[in-house]
Structure 1
């Protein structure tokens, strides 16, 4: 999965359905979530994409989307925020959030 910075972010989310995983390298639950998102990324290929934002590398994005705890996932549809999920969640719950936008 691609880790994007502030410069790339807008282009990455402007079309289609994109789940953005806001994470930190020091965050335990973020590490647990990574393989879940890897699997989901493969399953959703062609329908939605999943990208990651390191809040320590891109604090401006964390501020812009009011990320107060990690992991936080925001689902965008054509550049607009459509859903927000906070904490470690099962794959089915994350997938459900994406599928309702397709």
Structure 2
């Protein structure tokens, strides 16, 4: 399963309206750890087809980043039934990401 690129217009329908777990990567193109996290998300998305993986560029959606208190990147925010339930700040491995998903089942 691919990582879905979100916009301001699609955030609500793709994340907030979703019943299953959604991982949202808040990233920026100039952030090297953010770029390093992309393959981790892609690998995790193939391992967990029951979870939706998305990313949103904070430069294009500053209002959404502010709403969720994004102060540093990369940050993954885990949503369940449209509500944030967990977060992870900084670069993590696929195993660490999968462990967080398991914890928040």
Give TM-score, length-normalised by structure 1.
0.94
Equivalent in the alignment of 1:29:
33
Provide Cα deviations, 1:69-100, integer angstroms capped at 9, x if missing partner.
11000000110111010000111111111122
Pairwise CA RMSD of aligned residues?
Answer: 0.9
SS at match of 2:59: coil
Provide Cα deviations, 1:25-68, integer angstroms capped at 9, x if missing partner.
010001111001100011111x1010001000111111101101
Tell me, in whole angstroms, the C-alpha distance in 1 between the residues paired with 2:65 and 2:20.
21
Tell me, in whole angstroms, the C-alpha distance in 2 between the residues paired with 1:50 and 1:101.
15
Unpaired runs of at least 5, structure 2: none
- Within the candidate set 31, 40, 48, 2:44 is matched to 40
Equivalent in the alignment of 1:88:
91
Structural mapping, 1:1-102, within 5 Å: 1-13=3-15, 14=17, 15-45=19-49, 47-102=50-105
Q: How many residues align?
A: 101
Report the CA distance between 1:101 and its aligned residue: 2.6
